[in-house]
Amino acid sequence: MTRPYICPNCGHRTSDHDRNAGFSRRPKGCEKCGFAFLFELLDDYYPAPDAAFFVCDAKGRLIGCGRNSFAFTGLEEEAVIGQDVGQALGLQFSNGDDPVKKVLEWGVRALEVPVQVSGERDQAAAAKADIFPAYDEDEGGLLLVLTPEK
């Protein structure tokens, strides 16, 4: 059975039987842009062309900013690496819930969650958040995809 994967850096989609590179335990990297690892998706998922990608560790700290992250938030990757994703991006979820925490704790996806994103802006922008847990045996983490609302 092949599994779908997506690169958080360039959004390139691929599918394969195994999440590791060859016989090693090293995770697969992106064949298009060379990013160090891919995220496995349980179902088919196609982000919008203007979606912004962010990768977090198991504690919700940013470890990578991918495609469209600067264009949407105005934040440079070097300025936010290691910071809590909610604080760094100024995430405000409509019902006061914290889906990032829920995804990290339960290992479940959260799709199309309404959110306000401030980043470097004075005024928050409306977006939909798709949050995917890392399906790995290591430390975990998550992929956050923010799609700006029109």
pLDDT tens track for 108-139: 899 999 999 998 877 889 999 999 998 766 66
Q: Say if CB 19 and CB 108 are below 8 A apart.
A: no
Q: Say if CB 56 and CB 100 are below 8 A apart.
A: yes
Instruction: Give percent of the chain above pLDDT 70.
Output: 89
Which string of DSSP letters, residue by residue, matches 8-63? TTT--EEEES-SBSTTSSSBPPPTTT--S--EE-SS-----TT-EEEEE-TTSBEE
Place of tokens 């059975």: 1
Distance of CA 147 to the CA centre of its chain: 11
Quote the DSSP letter at residue 71: H
pTM of the predicted structure, to 2 decimals: 0.82
Residue 20: pLDDT band with limits 50, 70, 90: low
Classify the C-alpha dihedral 38-64-73-32 as positive or negative. negative
Q: Taking the domains of the chain in order of start, what are their residue ranges?
A: 3-148
For position 10, what pLDDT does the model report?
87
| C-alpha pair distances (Å), 51 with each of 1, 48, 54 | 28, 5, 10
Is the domain spanning 3-148 CATH 1.10.3720.10? The answer is no
